[in-house]
Every structure is written in structure tokens, then in C-alpha cells.
Amino acid sequence: LQFTEEKLGQAEKTELDAHFENLLARADCTKNWTEKILRQTEVLLQPNPSARVEEFLYEKLDRKVPSRVTNGELLAQYMTEAANDFGPGTPYGKTLIKVGETQRRLGAAERDFIHSASLNFLTPLRNFLEGDWRTISKERRILQNRRLDLDACKARLKKAKAAEAKAGVIF
């Protein structure tokens, strides 16, 4: 009732401290940017949406995500196979072997980077959103409910004093 009356402009609303309001605004801003950064980093690390969904499901089911071959590693594999078909002694075969080996190392470095970024960058962001932010939201709801209770009590007190003054005037 208090909330509805406040929204309709029929009841007074106790304002929170300006510093506290600033902290709440900063917390909201932090949450929004953290979500955006998390999503975009996930897109950067795994551009394939279906693979991201698969990884998400594995994570939610507490299962180990199967290791994927990176595009660089796959290219290296093709180059090595092609080099073997052309013959490792031919100039083209030797070149494919060298480039394939370099591509394999690049693919392995990419896999290490993805793993490291996920572990050291995305995990803390998720921990904030799933832990700290939930706590902040819960405490904010509790504070809002307490403020509404306080304002409702103030309104009842005001009505009681008005009724008492009106009754005192009649006698």
C-alpha cells in the first residue's frame, strides 16, 4: 500500500542519504558494465554461439567441457597431412611442414590464452555477478522493505496525531 501510494504521489517517501544513493548508482553501473564485458569477452574467446551454449550447459551441469581443437591447430593438421601427401622432401611439402608446425604452436598458444582468460578474467567477473551482486540485491530489497515499513508507520502516526488533534478540538 505504501509503495503504491508513493508511486501515485499520495504518500511521503523517506529519502536515503545522498552518499548511499551514489553508492547504489555505482553498484548498478558496475553490474551493468561487468555483464557487458563478460558477454563480449565470451564472444571474443568463443565466437561460435552454439559452442558457447554447449559450454554453458556443461558448466551448469558441473561437467568438464570437452577440449576443442582451435582453428589454428586444425589448419596445422591439414597442412601436415597435405605435406605428407605431396612428400616431405618436396619444397612445397617442406614449406607446409614448417608453416604447419608454426600454426600448431599458434593454435596451442591460443588455447592456453582462452583457458587463462577464462580462469583468471571471466571467473572473477562471474563470481561478482553470482555472489556479490546477489548479496547487494538482497540487501537492497531488505532496505527498501524496511524503508516502506518506516514510511507506513510514519503515515499511521501522522493520521493518528491528526485524528487525536481533531478529537481534542471537538471536546
Query: Who wins on pLDDT, 56 or 157?
Result: 157
Domain boundaries, the chain: 1-168
Whole-angstrom distance, CA of residue 140 vs CA of residue 74:
50
pLDDT at 57: 82
pLDDT at 66: 77
pLDDT at 18: 93
Statement: the pTM of the whole predicted model exceeds 0.85: no
Whole-angstrom distance, CA of residue 6 vs CA of residue 15:
12
pLDDT at 170: 60
Helix H or strand E encompassing 45: helix 18-45
pLDDT at 29: 97
C-alpha cell at 115: 583457458
One-letter amino acid at 122 equals L
CATH 1.20.1270.60 fits 1-168, yes or no: yes
C-alpha cell at 53: 551454449
Query: Who wins on pLDDT, 58 or 82?
Result: 82
Question: Residues 98-122: pLDDT tens digits?
Answer: 999 999 999 999 999 998 998 999 9
